[in-house]
Structure 1
Amino acid sequence: MNKLFKRIIRIGITPELSLDRVDEIKVMNSIKVHGFLAVSLSCVGASFLLPEHARFFFVLALTHSIATVSIMLLHSLGEHRIAKTIFVFDPALLVTMILVYFGTESNLQYVSLILLFTYVFIFRRGDWQDLQLIVIFAVLTAISVAYIHFGRISLVKLTFEEMDTVRVVVYILAFTLSSSIGFIMYQNSLSRRRSLESTIRVSMRDATILQTISANMEDGVFKSSKDDGLVYVNQSFVKMFGYESVEDILRTHPVNLYPSKADRDSLFMRIEKSGKVANSLLQYRKKDGSHFWGRVSTTKIEEEGEEFVIGTVTDVTIQQAQDEVIKENEQRLREAQSFARLGNWEMGVRSKKMTWSEQSERVHGFKTNDDENAYSKWIRCLETVTEKEVDAAIAHCLLMNEAYEFGTWYNSPFGERRYLHYICLYKHGNQDQEDSWYGTVQDITQQKEQEQEIISTREFYHKVLNLIPIEAVIIASDRTYQFISENAIADDELRTWLIGKHDRDYAEYRNLPLDFADERAERVDEAFRTGLTVRWEEKMQTRDGRETYHIRNLVPLKFPSGTGEIEKFLMGYSFDINDIKRAQMKLELNNKELNIVNQELDRFVYSISHDLRAPIASVLGLISLAEESESMEETGSLLKMQREALDRLDRYIRDVIDYSRNKRLEIDPVEIDLKNLIETCREELAYLPNYQGIEYFVNVEDGVSITTDFLRIKILFSNLYSNAIKYADPKKKSFVGVTISPNGDGIKIVFEDNGVGIKQEYIPKIWDMFFRGTSEGSGSGLGLYIMKEAVANIQGTIAADSSEGKGASFTIHLPNLS
């Protein structure tokens, strides 16, 4: 309960209030609480004694309760003046209400005197407004009481017994209020006395502490008057000025502590003008005449009508020397920044207020002092950076807590175009200072222009190397690729990836044998080691399996670097020699074919010379016999033998003609009527002796057709039928069969007979020129050779299967030719 009462008493008290105001609020709250209890209890008691007036007493208690709550609420809101006004006039209202209701016979008007004395005591330290409230209260109360008394105003008429009861209640209330107010005043006085004693004790303790600090601190502490000089100094002050004791320096006139009297007079003029001097740099003189720099802070005070100056002096001679060095370094820094065109800047993140150093202003071309639009002007001058990008950069610095760099072309207000490089950091502010974005800016226009010139030159040479119809690369001394032309690698992604990598990386990427990379590495090492051009031929395979050929060259180059060392590179270039290689391979193939043709020609000439002379010699011999013969029968037999020899000669000549036409004529694809062609080829051989004794079968499936060279396919069927008829077995019932069926994008031909057949060991040789598997018959040995060459010319294949005495079978596959 006691804690609750104390909390109520302290309602409205805040740390910034003065001690008098705190006491005033505590007394007012305490009186209102006690008054509330006294009035409430008095009204309750009076209601029991005078029940017919209980409603009036309830209104009194309610009015006082509302006034009490209002005062507490206004105190808590800081409205102390209004609360004080209600505090003064609330009791006056209650007294007036009771006097109007019961009349002045209730003697309640004397309570007003108690209240008046209470207000005078409470507000004795108040201002004129408090005095005005007390006067108004006294005047209004006196007028009200006089008016009610002399006007004999009374809303109710009480009996003598009832009036006595009211007077008793009033006396009890007056006694209670007087006692409570007296007790509160006593408690307040006691509290203030205790507080004052505590303050005195604290002050004495603080004085002891200050005296101890003064005696032990390094700064010199002094107290002085303008006319009488020093009256107090600590030991640090004595040491600082080089004196032996406190008494020694106190006997010295203060003028002796300054290089000149004018310096002291100037200091005191400043103290007189502003009442104090803070951290002012002055030069002082020691007892031995040497000088030192000190920073003085002083305040003017008044004691018993006399003015004094108290303060401290700090020896900053070393610091001053350091400051001089710092100033010199700062000057050098400004000169270096000016030379490097480097400036400092800072910008408020929220306000966008910009602050630039002198060099930064020169770099940007305008000043930010008192220019509210400096930020907008700066943004407009940035050529490649927008305001949104600047905000994003600020957010990056805040989020990542790291420096952010960017460069941009800048168009100054005077039309000068520069390239500026910014380094930015984020700095958190405090309660009095907002967050800021700060850093450096450097004008690197000359460097940027040189870089662009270098880039332009490099792009020019890259373009030249890309346009030259050769493959070009540049290899650094660490064996990595530094440049690859588009002709060397057409794939942009692969070309970019390979920069900075080795041939082994390329081989692994392309799934090439590592021997390929090792061979290249050996060539590169050889070029670096010998300093001579290395050249070799290289065969590669493309992704689609094609083989390509190149002549590779590595030319050593040397360039001086920025550090004075010699950098070594290899300039690699190569030529595509696929056309040359194909021509060479074709030439070699042609030479090989020419050798084969020459060999065939030798054999052909030999065979022709033999095979042509044999029939001719036979005919000549038979003619001689016929000339000597006298028998017609014998002559007829000789003529028949001559005819047979001439037939052999004719067939031989036709084979030679077929051979020549197959070698010489171009392929002419046409659609072939297979059945008609087969019948024609067979009927052309009807003159052969065995033709009539053979049964012929032809089976061509429906829908089968072929587009190919007519001459070659005719040679094929003519030779097949010719051999089958010539080598038919007279001991058997002979047959020849042809079956043709579809085969992919072409046809399959199966040609078979039941003739004398071919020995198994002869089958690989039957395709050779002039080979004869039997001495029987009159063949030239060219038929099967010409037939195979004809099939090869129309991109077909032919295979034979035979056994001696069982016939032969030939399988031919022919494609359609476009």
Structure 2
Amino acid sequence: MTPEINVLYVDDEQQNLNSFKAAFRTRYKVFTALSVPVALEILEREEIHVLISDQRMPEISGVEFFKITKERYPHIPRVLLTGYTDIEVLAEAVNQGDIYRYITKPWDDLELHNSVLNAYDHYKANKDLQEKISELEKANAGLNRFVYSLSHELRAPIASATGILDLVKMEGRIGDSGGYWKLMDACIQKLDYYVSQTVQFYKTARFKVVQEQIHFETLVRSLIDLYRTSNDTKDITFEIAVDEAQHFYGDLFRVEIVIANLLSNAIKCQRPEEPHKKINIRIDTSVEEARILIADNGIGMEAEEATKIFDPFFKGAQPGSLGLGLFILREALEKMNGIVTVNSQRGVGSTFEVVIPNTPEQKD
């Protein structure tokens, strides 16, 4: 079944309007207008799918009329009928998107009919696209609200529960109740980790890259101080060597994500039986790049496993992990055009090397 196509034809000659209506009234719903003001009134009250106009009109040319309708109704395809050749005007109108197609007069019925059908398909495609964009905007707004709830509303009760457990620890009662306090502490820490990883993944994927000067020494030591509050790091020695002879400019938000996830991974992959747990951190900056090496003497991994660790939800030797940390790291590096490589050996440890370009336009 042929869809009903609403076509508006504007021409200052009534004979042309009558001829058009007689030729196409059984194929489309035809609207006609002898002047631009009448045409604009029809456009206001009717859903027009294809707009056709003569070029030579006394009040205004067809191209000038189309410029007006393009601003008000940008998604309606416009077909120009012209009885004379004005290549410069037509070329400018086509290049600026003012017209979808032009046809010389007297028109050929088949050519004009095919042009209307093609223009209608163009209209439908644009309309479908706008509807998809609207759906995506709604979904995006919903996702924003969801992440806001995660980062604020859900974080608040987690913080309250953590505060209560801190009081229990201060009073030395964490071992009471048959170990239930410890179990609750572990569950809350895991929930907090899952929430933070989800929010971090969202921000990494969506936030724009912002360049600024980065002080690696300060950044690394602040992250280590943060990790030092956890019992997981009490037996780990951190060895830090930072050479910042050259100022480095990059995306601080994502650089912090990269280093934080590498440190977190190195801490979690320590071997319980290792008496001298250590993590080595080496950072060097140059005119071209920052080179970051983080090595541990932890559990390490096989070569096959090393190829999968950057995949989403791959847990490897960390069954309690969400499996997003190194995936988020790789996503952050891609935004900065950085790369990461890993060299690991089971039972010996792992070394991660990250290279991030120094942003040239931001340097002194």
Q: Normalising by structure 1, report the TM-score.
A: 0.24
Q: Which residue of 2 aligns with 1:727?
A: 269
Provide the residue aligned with 1:718 in structure 2: 260
Letter of the structure 2 residue corresponding to residue 700 of structure 1: V
Deviation at 1:809, TM superposition (A): 1.4
The AA in structure 1 aligned to 2:313 is: F
RMSD: 4.0
- Alignment counterpart, residue 300 of structure 2, candidates 757, 779, 788: 757
The structure 2 residue matched to 1:798, chosen from 340, 343, 346, is 340
1:742 to 285, 300, 309: 285
Counterparts of 1:783 and 1:692, CA distance in 2: 22
Give the Cα separation in 1 of the matches to 2:203 and 2:331: 11
- Match for residue 663 of structure 1 among 180, 187, 205: 205
Structure 1 spans left out of the alignment, 5+ residues: 1-460, 471-486, 488-554, 556-579, 602-607, 620-631
Q: CA deviation at 1:775?
A: 4.7
Correspondences of 1:432-581 after superposition (within 5 Å): 465=87, 469=91
Which residue of structure 1 lines up, in the alignment, with residue 223 of structure 2?
A: 681
Residue type of the partner of 1:469? A
Q: C-alpha distance in 1, partners of 2:302/2:317?
A: 9
Does the C-alpha gap of structure 1 residues 775 and 814 become closer, same or farther in structure 2, counting only changes over 3 Å? closer
Report the alpha carbon displacement of residue 673 of structure 1 after superposing the two structures with TM. 0.9
- C-alpha separation in 2, matches of 1:677 and 1:742: 14
Cα distance in 2 for partners of 1:692, 1:668 equals 35
Work out whether residues 287 and 358 of structure 2, in 8 Å CA contact, stay in contact via their aligned partners in 1: no
For residues 647-698 of structure 1, give each alpha carbon's deviation from its aligned partner in whole angstroms, at most 9, with x where no partner exists.
1111111111211222232222111111000001111111333312112122
Distance 1:737 1:705, change over 3 A: farther
Match for 1:756: what amino acid? I
Deviations 1:392-437 (A, max 9, x none): xxxxxxxxxxxxxxxxxxxxxxxxxxxxxxxxxxxxxxxxxxxxxx
Q: Is the 8 A contact 2:246 2:286 kept in 1?
A: no
Structure 1 Cα separation of the partners of residues 351 and 269 of structure 2 = 13
In 2, the alpha carbon distance for the partners of 1:695 and 1:648 equals 24
Give, as a single letter, the amino acid of the residue that structure 2 aligns with 1:642: M
Larger Rg computed on CA atoms: 1
State the structure with bigger RCO (CA 8 A, min sep 6), 1 or 2.
Answer: 2
- Verify the 8 A CA contact 1:704 1:747 in the aligned structure 2: no
Alignment of 1:146-225 (within 5 A): none
Structure 2 alignment gaps of length 5 or more: 1-83, 96-103, 105-121, 144-149, 162-173
Using the alignment, how far apart are the partners of 1:695 and 1:812 within structure 2?
Answer: 21
Shift of 1:787: 1.1
Shift of 1:773: 0.7
1:643 lines up with 2:265 in the alignment: no
Listed as ranges, the matches of 1:76-475 within 5 Å are 465=87, 469=91
In structure 1, the residue matched to 2:237 is: 695
1:3-22 correspondence runs (5 A): none
Partner Cα distance (2:239, 2:181) in 1: 36
Aligned to 2:166: none
Q: Equivalent pairs: percent with the same residue?
A: 27
Please identify runs of 4+ aligned residues in structure 1 that moved more than 6 A: none
Provide the secondary structure at the position in 1 that maps to 2:322. coil
- Cα deviation digits, residues 51-95 of structure 1 (max 9, x gap): xxxxxxxxxxxxxxxxxxxxxxxxxxxxxxxxxxxxxxxxxxxxx
CA distance in 1, matches of 2:244, 2:200: 31
Distance in 2 (alpha carbons) for counterparts of 1:779 and 1:815: 30
Asked if structure 2 preserves the Cα contact closer than 8 Å seen for 1:800 and 1:808, the reply is yes
* 2:311 counterpart residue number: 768
Query: Residues 594-648 of structure 1, C-alpha deviation per residue, up to 9 Å, x if partnerless?
Result: 9xx99xx9xxxxxx9xxx9xxx9xx9xxxxxxxxxxxx96615221121111111
With over 3 angstroms needed to count, the CA separation of the structure-2 counterparts of 1:802 and 1:642, relative to structure 1, is same
Aligned residues: 216
TM norm structure 2: 0.51
CA–CA distance in 2 between the matches of 1:761 and 1:780?
20
Change beyond 3 A, Cα 1:677–1:775: closer
Distance verdict in 2 for CA 1:725–1:641, change over 3 Å: same
Q: Residues of 1 paired with 2:186 and 2:292: CA distance?
A: 33
Matched-pair contact (CA < 8 Å) for 1:688–1:726: no
Q: More helix by proportion, 1 or 2?
A: 1
Whether the 8 Å CA contact 1:688–1:725 is kept in 2: the answer is no
